[in-house]
Structure 1
Amino acid sequence: MRRLFIYYRIASADAAAAQPVARAMQDALCARHPGLQAELWRRPQEKDGMQTWMEIYMHAEGVGPVLEGEIAAAAQVLAAWLQGPRHCEVFVPCAW
């Protein structure tokens, strides 16, 4: 089961404007892909007037490359607030 963890920085002053846009983007993705779960997190501390945000995406069937591309395309709505690039990390469960 492949999960995505995407992190980026937002100016603290922009957080109130960017948050509903990020949530709406995630809600729209979940509506188009039944079973997709999305979360929006941030680090509790701020540094130099910036917040680090993380989007988390998971699905019982995994988040494949096609859906990953759709998530990246949908995230363009956040471009005005990004302070640098979005970093995408992919994780899978450990084999026991």
Structure 2
Amino acid sequence: MIDLYVYYKVREADAPTLAPRVCALQAHIGVPAQLKRRPDVRDGMQTWMEIYPNVDDGFPARLDLAAREAGLDGLIEGARRVEIFMDLPTCA
């Protein structure tokens, strides 16, 4: 199992339109999820992050397809960047 982190830039003017789409996507995808953003705004841009903990290895591809179907690309600036992390053995 992996933890998936997806981050991207959002034009401040597009944030009110994008938020319900991301929330609908997360409700539809069927796994626990979080949506966060950095508190600061730079040059009219916000940085958002979607977090999907403890998902299977095939989840990133399913999420990518769902994001395209939800029309997120037209409301973000640049690419959705994906980072994958996995657990390490517990220390003592």
| TM-score, scaled to structure 2 | 0.89
Provide the rounded CA distance (Å) in 1 between the counterparts of 2:34 and 2:44. Answer: 23
Counterpart residue identity of residue 39, structure 2: P
More strand by share: 2
Quote the RMSD (CA, aligned, Å).
1.1
Provide the rounded CA distance (Å) in 1 between the counterparts of 2:67 and 2:9. Answer: 13
Q: Which runs of 5+ in 2 are unaligned?
A: none
Identity %: 38
Provide the rounded CA distance (Å) in 2 between the counterparts of 1:94 and 1:65. Answer: 16
SS at match of 1:14: helix
Could you tell me which residue of structure 2 aligns to residue 7 of structure 1?
Answer: 7
Could you tell me which residue of structure 1 aligns to residue 85 of structure 2?
Answer: 91
For 1:4-37, what per-residue CA distance to the aligned partner results, in whole angstroms no more than 9, with x for missing partners? 000000100100010000000010001xxxxx21
Could you tell me which residue of structure 1 aligns to residue 58 of structure 2?
Answer: 66
SS at match of 1:55: strand
Deviation at 1:65, TM superposition (A): 3.0
Could you tell me which residue of structure 2 aligns to residue 48 of structure 1?
Answer: 43
Task: Count residues with an aligned counterpart.
Answer: 88
Runs of 4 or more off by more than 4 Å in structure 1?
none
CA contact (8 A) 2:2 2:57 kept: no
Q: Which runs of 5+ in 1 are unaligned?
A: 31-35
Deviation at 1:64, TM superposition (A): 2.5
Counterpart residue identity of residue 25, structure 1: L
